[in-house]
């Protein structure tokens, strides 16, 4: 549980973290459906990673790969069933930036 508290910081970001915004999967890059389908066989696309960061509990246990999507396909954790603009990201209880402060996060 303590490990989740540290990883929680990564999941609380509602836009994109400044430190990792240069990474493709943490960008707000929009791809055409055709390109998304083609790329998602090889690399983790922004939509795939957004599904991993979803506030929807049914979507959380998916798309763990941070680079090669082939690992999620191999482990059957790949999920593509959310439209690009339909994924709400964040962590319940931390959806308001005013709720995010270190003592509360680390519990």
- What kind and span of H or E run contains 12? helix 2-12
Structure tokens at 30: 């929009």
Cβ neighbours of residue 5 closer than 8 Å, sequence gap 6 or more: 105, 106, 107
How many residues in total does the chain contain?
107
Q: Considering the chain, what percentage of its residues have pLDDT values greater than 90? A: 6
Domain-wise residue ranges, the chain: 2-106
Question: 39: how many CB neighbours lie within 10 A of its CB?
Answer: 17
Tens digit of pLDDT for each residue in 70-102? 889 999 999 887 776 677 777 777 777 777 776
* 3-13 pLDDT tens trace: 666 666 666 66
Chain position carrying tokens 């989740």: 4
Please state the pTM of the whole predicted model. 0.66
All residues at 6 or more sequence positions from 63 whose CB lies less than 8 Å from its CB, including other chains: 44, 48, 49, 51, 52, 69, 72, 77, 78, 79
């Amino acid at each position: 549980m303590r490990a989740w508290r540290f990883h929680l910081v990564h999941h609380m970001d509602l836009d994109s973290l400044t430190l990792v915004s240069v990474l493709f999967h943490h960008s707000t890059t929009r791809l055409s459906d055709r390109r998304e389908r083609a790329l998602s066989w090889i690399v983790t696309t922004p939509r795939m990673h957004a599904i991993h960061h979803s506030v929807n509990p049914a979507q959380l246990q998916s798309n763990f790969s941070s680079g090669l999507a082939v690992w999620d396909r191999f482990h059957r954790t790949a999920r593509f069933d959310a439209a690009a603009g339909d994924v709400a990201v964040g962590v319940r209880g931390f959806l308001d930036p005013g709720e995010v402060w270190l003592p509360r996060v680390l519990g």
